[in-house]
Amino acid sequence: GGPNVSTAMAVREQHGHDESMHTCAPPDAVVWPQAVGQVQELAALCYRCRVPMVPFGTGTGLEGGVNAVQGGVCFDLSRMDAIAELSLEDFRVAVEPGVTRKALNSHLCGTGLWFPVGTVG
Provide the CATH number for the domain around residue 51: 3.30.43.10
User: Which range has the worst mean pLDDT, 3-7, 50-54, 112-116?
Assistant: 112-116
Q: Give the whole-angstrom CA distance, residue 78 versus residue 71.
A: 20
Predicted confidence at residue 118, as pLDDT, reads: 61
11 shares its domain with 70: yes
10 has pLDDT over 90: yes
58 shares its domain with 85: no
Closest CA to 67 of 13, 121, 117, 5: 13
Predicted confidence at residue 121, as pLDDT, reads: 47
% of the chain beyond a pLDDT of 90: 71
Q: What's the pTM value of the predicted model, to 2 decimals? A: 0.82
1 has pLDDT over 80: no
Residue type, 59: G
Q: Give the whole-angstrom CA distance, residue 3 versus residue 76.
A: 12
Average pLDDT, the chain: 91
| Structure-model confidence comparison of residues 121 and 117, the more confident one | 117
72 shares its domain with 85: no
Is 57:99 a contact under the CB 8 Å cutoff? no
Read off the pLDDT of residues 75-110 as tens digits, 9 standing for 90 and up. 999 999 999 999 999 999 999 999 988 999 999 999
State how many domains the chain has.
2
* C-alpha R_g of the chain: 16
Domain housing 15 = 2-76
74 has pLDDT over 70: yes
Predicted confidence at residue 62, as pLDDT, reads: 82
* Non-local CB neighbours of 27 within 8 Å, separated by 6+ positions: 12, 15, 16, 54, 68, 71, 72, 73, 74
Is 97:57 a contact under the CB 8 Å cutoff? yes
64 has pLDDT over 90: no
